[in-house]
Structure 1
Amino acid sequence: MLPLLATILGIGLVLFIHETGHYVAARMAGVRVEVFSIGMGPRIFGWKWRGCDFRISLVPFGAYVRMAGEEMTREALPDELGAQPPRWRFFIFAGGILMNFLFALLLIPALFRIGVPFYAPVAGQIEAGGPAWQAGMEQGDRILSVNGKPTYGFLNFMSTVALSEAGQPLNLEVEGREGSRRSLVLEPKYDKVQGFRRAGVNPPLESRLELQVEEESPAWEAGLRQGDQLISLEGVALETAFEADHMLAFGLLSGTPIRLGLESPEGDTREVVLHPQLLPEAPPAVGIHLWQNRVEEIRSGPLKGHLQEGDWILEAGDQPVARRDQLLAACLIAGGLPPLKIFRQGQEILLPARSDIDARQVASDLWLKSHEELRVGVTPGGPAALAGFRHGDQILRVDDRIVHELVEVAKIVRSKEEEEVRFTLLHPGEEEPVQITVQPKSSPRIDLPVNLFYREEIVRRDNMVDALWLGLSEANRMVHEVFLTLNRMITGQVDRKNIGGILTIGQVTYQRANKGLVPLLFFLAMISIHLGVLNLLPIPALDGGHLLFVIIEKLRGRPLSERTQGWFNLVGVVAVLGLILFTLWQDIRRLME
């Protein structure tokens, strides 16, 4: 209840500050203010003071100040807007924008004096083959600066990447886990699904993982309890985010029992074996997954003489390898690179274990990719395995339909509900296709209710001058980012689907309110800057449009005709309403997804 109230009050505060700017400027100019409303539509309640009706209105979107003489049908009186010279009208229309900037410029340095939490600017899991991997970034690297500008939050880094100019690489300075610094050149890549450029690196996770266990759930029945900390998995201590990332991915997707090391809130440790369970919401499936075990590239290091590009990694130790997380988990469990069974140039080869190559080196240097043809791995004990599927099978057809991607297979399986599905396959090393019929069913899954938290750091300046300087720099970055975002959307470098409206603002404000007062206030300062910048745009019916009319009047020596202003304002209103509807639709679409 408190976060919801804080959300409503927070958004209301930003609107109140903007309209207060108009109100104060109008009073300074001697203009009578008739209404000061938070919200739109019918008046719910309020009070009158100095001739102004201060009110709360029914529709909680927006706010406005109505000044005497805004719509003139006669000669203006001295205390009306139309009677004021251009310089005062410019000041009145700019008052809300100035107040938005002033609010942020005062608040942000004060918050840095207290301490603002940011996601740590540290590389989490890195997508093999992605821009960060190609640049030489490693998990655990601390990002110190981008193009010479200090980076103190991971989201700042992500924004810089997303809004970067096409074809322009970014110069990064990073600090490795051992403390050495190095320079990297990152070339962001446009992601069609996300609609912006990405680096292929995730924020860092906290290494300690807390369980959220409901009574009588499968996890509860297995012996897990609310507040337990997951400290090891399959005997591998989860000491850093690296182990947590890769062992969790392996454990959740393995389809086999996994051994957990737990620590209770009281500090007691114990081991629990968690078995796959048939979950009520699990849809029918056949138990296959994309085979992503072909060596696409080896970046550097001792792996380069051990593996070759084009190798298929079939097994690590005694475990089949269909995905990168399975290989990394095998390395973590073995304490080094275990014996590998690979397929190279038409024959299977057994490579010896290498104790000098650890999981971090494998993650850093090895890029595994899916095959050009549709090859799949098989979940042990699943419908496909029981029907005769083998690891590495190539799917040619499903019910006589040629398929090229696993998503096509999934659609066919779902459309048939629980009817049998006929697959035409090519087993590895064989030339004659075979047909196998599979009965889809809901497959048991590992239910490990773990809370994943991104690692946070407090950015604080003990010296008020330093806090002021950092605050002003951050405010300047926010202003620049808004203009850059608009530019990238207009030029198509950022997809317009990423624009957010009042629902997104409310959702994010609620999330910040849940995290505490400082994160909430910092976000409100950012929203205040965004509101100020957007109102600077020369759009008729907004503050920027009014400012444009005043500038034109000053240059011409006389105002535009009321007819011309009316047409411009009509176009502006239609454009603003269209933008509101578009952003509302995008908000709803995101919520539905």
Structure 2
Amino acid sequence: MADFLGSVWWMIVSLGVLVTFHEFGHYWVARRCGVKVLRFSVGFGKPLWSRRDRHGTEFAIAAIPLGGYVKMLDEREAEVPIGERARAFNNKTVWQRIAIVAAGPIANLVLCIALLWAMFVIGRQDYSPSVGRASGMAASAGFAAGDRLLAVDGRSVDTWAEASMALTTAAMDRQDAHVLVRDVLDNERTRVLPLSQLPAGFDERQVPVQAGFMWQFWLQPAVIEKVSKDSPAGHLLQPGDLVLAIDGQRVDSADRVYPLIQALGQRGGPGMLEVERAGERLALEVTPQPAKGPDGKPRWLIGVEFPTGQAAAYDARQQYGVLAALPAAVRETGKLASDSLGMMRRMLTGHASLKNVSGPITIARVANASAERGVDWFLYFLALLSLSLCIINLLPIPVLDGGHLLYYLIELVKGSPLSERAMATGQFIGLALLAGLMGLAFYNDILGLVL
């Protein structure tokens, strides 16, 4: 319940901030162009709060927090007194109308840069793109534990998320990735990861895993948390012991302990358990005892437990000074825009799954998760959502800002506005496309909850 309420709250906060800035862009430019603004509403439906300023504009917060709008004086919507016709939106020049409509997406773009600037000033904590374990395709390509990825196909990567995105992009394009790494001996070398060999229909959300990568921060140290007294390890091990090896096999993380204990039990007889305790290395003999698992099949236990659900400490930080953070924010905005447009292009051409389209349920869940990770991550989430709102609104779909801009560009070319019939047809098509997109987004959201 707490997660649900948190998700709803942070979605309302997120959309409230982004919609307010978007609509303020329209409002501010409309006022500068001499257009009378009748209402500035954050949310749809019945107003929960409203006030009117000295210019006659009603500012309102409405009951449904899934958008907003700026209502302007317009002869196409209602009769306008003769004395105010010069202040009607439809009577402004085409360039003024273009400026007013484009101002909303531009406001979201500016907000994205401002949020990323604040994030970089504060410093975003993250995990480095360091390999904890390599298997399968990655191991065959020469990757090994301790490698730190520096660049993928010429694009520098500072975090595991950036590295994962770059690898996923190469996989969707069915291309091998040229990866620059720094190994444990501090040597830089380029390795070719044959992502073009991934099977058809691979899971785009799990490309690094399917390629054989286990990031270092995924691997938790095998530090014992609990020891059962009436167990083979009861008189040998202590909480805080770090398991180093089992039966001669090196243990590099807690997830390696269970399969090695099973192998030791199947072999039969005692085995050597090497641990580090208070800086001293100990070799202890232990014999796993048989037990029945939840599925009724036999398994072997030694009576120890490791911490679960414990997040690893961050080992990377992206932080800049107040001035240096601005160009960094602009670069990051360009990178995110390129990734977003690239993903849209791949979905249209069939190179990426339509499962990547997300709706309000996913937005709410990610908003809550980002807020829980800290201010830096929530700012990043808001910036990404603001940029997405900018890009989506600029799509040439009637109903959206991009559709209106398309109408005005056609007006510039032909020298006169489109007919009411043509615009009505466009609006109908736009609504149908938007309804289809929203239906797909909700379908993916619900599927994500069920699976």
Same fold (TM over 0.5): yes
| 2: CA distance, partners of 1:567 / 1:87 | 24
Partner of 2:189: 182
Q: Of residues 482, 487, 511 in structure 1, which corresponds to 2:340? A: 482
**2:20 matches 1:16:** yes
* 3-state DSSP of counterpart to 1:66: strand
| 1: CA distance, partners of 2:248 / 2:86 | 77
| 2: CA distance, partners of 1:80 / 1:185 | 61
Partner of 1:41: 45
**2:63 matches 1:52:** no
Partner of 2:67: 62
Partner of 2:435: 577
Partner of 1:472: 330
> What whole-Å deviation, never above 9, does each CA across 1:531-582 have from its counterpart, x for those lacking one?
1111111011001101101111111100110111011111101111111111
Partner of 2:380: 522
> What whole-Å deviation, never above 9, does each CA across 1:257-297 have from its counterpart, x for those lacking one?
99897999xxxxxx999978778xx4x46x4xxxxxxxxxx
Preserved contact between residue 15 and residue 66 of structure 2 (Cα < 8 Å): no
Preserved contact between residue 163 and residue 488 of structure 1 (Cα < 8 Å): no
| 2: CA distance, partners of 1:448 / 1:38 | 49
Partner of 1:532: 390
Instruction: Indicate the RMSD between aligned Cα atoms, in angstroms.
Output: 3.9
Unaligned runs of 5+ in 1: 265-270, 288-378, 382-442
Letter in 2 for 1:119: Y
> What whole-Å deviation, never above 9, does each CA across 1:195-251 have from its counterpart, x for those lacking one?
4782422332266559999xxx99899899xxx767327669999xx7116524626
Deviates more, 1:188-197 or 1:252-261: 252-261
Preserved contact between residue 32 and residue 80 of structure 1 (Cα < 8 Å): yes
Partner of 1:198: 207
Deviates more, 1:193-202 or 1:563-572: 193-202
> What whole-Å deviation, never above 9, does each CA across 1:141-200 have from its counterpart, x for those lacking one?
111112222211111121122223634333221101221111112232446241478242
* 3-state DSSP of counterpart to 1:61: strand
User: In the superposition, relative to structure 1, how do residues 448 and 93 fare at CA in structure 2: closer, same or farther (>3 Å)?
Assistant: same
Partner of 1:588: 446
| 2: CA distance, partners of 1:89 / 1:212 | 67
User: In the superposition, relative to structure 1, how do residues 210 and 244 fare at CA in structure 2: closer, same or farther (>3 Å)?
Assistant: closer
Q: Greater helix percent: which structure?
A: 2
User: In the superposition, relative to structure 1, how do residues 197 and 256 fare at CA in structure 2: closer, same or farther (>3 Å)?
Assistant: closer
Which structure has the larger Rg over C-alpha atoms? 1
**2:77 matches 1:72:** yes
**2:238 matches 1:243:** no
**2:31 matches 1:173:** no
| 1: CA distance, partners of 2:23 / 2:182 | 46
**Counterparts of residues 218-237 of structure 1 (less than 5 Å):** 231-232=242-243
Preserved contact between residue 276 and residue 446 of structure 1 (Cα < 8 Å): no
Q: Of residues 490, 496, 509 in structure 1, which corresponds to 2:367? A: 509
Preserved contact between residue 209 and residue 450 of structure 1 (Cα < 8 Å): no
| 2: CA distance, partners of 1:135 / 1:260 | 31
Deviates more, 1:159-168 or 1:70-79: 70-79
Q: Of residues 97, 107, 112 in structure 2, which corresponds to 1:104? A: 112
Deviation at 1:122, TM superposition (A): 1.4
Preserved contact between residue 231 and residue 238 of structure 1 (Cα < 8 Å): no
| 1: CA distance, partners of 2:223 / 2:145 | 24
**Counterparts of residues 252-267 of structure 1 (less than 5 Å):** none
Q: TM-score of the superposition, structure 1-length normalised?
A: 0.62
* 3-state DSSP of counterpart to 1:54: strand
**Counterparts of residues 359-374 of structure 1 (less than 5 Å):** none
| 1: CA distance, partners of 2:218 / 2:6 | 24
Deviates more, 1:449-458 or 1:495-504: 449-458
* 3-state DSSP of counterpart to 2:131: coil
Unaligned runs of 5+ in 2: 279-283
Partner of 1:121: 129
Letter in 1 for 2:169: L
User: In the superposition, relative to structure 1, how do residues 499 and 533 fare at CA in structure 2: closer, same or farther (>3 Å)?
Assistant: same
Deviation at 1:496, TM superposition (A): 0.7
Q: Of residues 135, 158, 162 in structure 1, which corresponds to 2:164? A: 158
User: In the superposition, relative to structure 1, how do residues 253 and 95 fare at CA in structure 2: closer, same or farther (>3 Å)?
Assistant: farther
Q: TM-score of the superposition, structure 2-length normalised?
A: 0.80
* 3-state DSSP of counterpart to 1:494: coil
Letter in 1 for 2:27: Y
| 2: CA distance, partners of 1:260 / 1:67 | 75
| 1: CA distance, partners of 2:220 / 2:151 | 28
| 2: CA distance, partners of 1:542 / 1:273 | 68
> What whole-Å deviation, never above 9, does each CA across 1:103-155 have from its counterpart, x for those lacking one?
11222133212211223121233341x2x333322222111112222211111
What number of residue pairs does the alignment pair up? 422
* 3-state DSSP of counterpart to 2:440: helix
Letter in 1 for 2:29: A
Preserved contact between residue 252 and residue 446 of structure 1 (Cα < 8 Å): no
| 2: CA distance, partners of 1:63 / 1:230 | 57
Letter in 1 for 2:139: W
Partner of 1:371: none
User: In the superposition, relative to structure 1, how do residues 448 and 112 fare at CA in structure 2: closer, same or farther (>3 Å)?
Assistant: same
* 3-state DSSP of counterpart to 1:171: strand
> What whole-Å deviation, never above 9, does each CA across 1:398-450 have from its counterpart, x for those lacking one?
xxxxxxxxxxxxxxxxxxxxxxxxxxxxxxxxxxxxxxxxxxxxx9x997551
Preserved contact between residue 44 and residue 68 of structure 2 (Cα < 8 Å): yes
Letter in 2 for 1:157: A
Preserved contact between residue 222 and residue 306 of structure 2 (Cα < 8 Å): no
